[in-house]
A = this chain, B = another copy of it.
Amino acid sequence: MNGTRQPIGVFDSGIGGLTVVKALVEELPSESIVYFGDTARVPYGTKSKSTIVKFSLENVEFLLRFGVKCIVIACNTSSSWALPTLRKYFKVPIIGVIRPGALAAVRATRNKRVGVIGTTATIRSGAYETAIHRVDPRIKVFSQHCPLFVPLVEEGWLNGSVCLEVAERYLHPLKRERIDTLILGCTHYPLISSTIHKVLGPEVVLVDSAQQTVTEVRGVLMGTDALSNGNTRPRYRFFVTDEPSHFNRIGHRFLGQVVGSVERVNPV
């Protein structure tokens, strides 16, 4: 495949996937990116498998219009439930965030006790547990859904007493299980990692899957001889399904820099 100038497609239920874009830009600075955030229908994490799969299929169809050479599902919820179906329907390589995060946790744990936090849908899927046990069935996995973390991050209450008390409620059962590694199974959670560390202690390793996912993307592109040769300036395009103002306003929290021009599109 002569994919050197084709963009990488990234989709998310909303804005959180920009953390994956940030890692892509840092690790693969020659690659162009098309980002799709389904901000009119966000969140996915409170919804059912069939709805998540339906929306994800539509998102992939949108990205394929741009001739993307691979697609990254930056959304943990969508990766958990929709990846097998998407791989069945489409030929383009599709990379989710679950396996990379699971592998990182398997490498990090010393006592073989790993915690996973995520949205209700992600935790219900059992996807992390399955991915971890595929590598090492002896690892004990403790899961906890944390529905208030995303609203807290969107509200910007990243530190402070409310965030700390919510984190204590959610994480106390994991602490009691003496986990030494915690998978942050949602794109929003890295923004409250300092609060999570306060509850669990500094010695617990927090796994943010963005970095690991980019490593897998690089591997896929090398394997298909599709890495950019760096001869052209990369281009970044952002599409959302609701008005772009909110995305523009808080996007920098996730991307680490101001988000460029954002275009609105109708859901497929």
* A198 vs B39: C-alpha distance when bound (angstroms): 35
Residues of chain A from 118 to 166 with CB closer than 8 A to chain B in the complex? 147-148, 151-152, 154-155, 157, 161-162, 165-166
Spot the interface stretch: A1-9, A40-48, A185-193.
A40-48
Chain B CB within 8 A of A245 CB:
yes
Residues of B within 8 A of A165 (CB): 161-162, 165
A133 shortest CB reach to chain B, Å:
27
* A117 vs B129: C-alpha distance when bound (angstroms): 41
Q: How many residues of A contact B (CB 8 A)?
A: 27
Measured CB to CB, the nearest residue on chain B to A54 is: B40
Contact A154 B162 (CB under 8 A): no
Contact B147 A155 (CB under 8 A): yes
Residues of B within 8 A of A40 (CB): 41, 47, 51
Residues of B within 8 A of A39 (CB): 47
Chain B CB within 8 A of A208 CB:
no
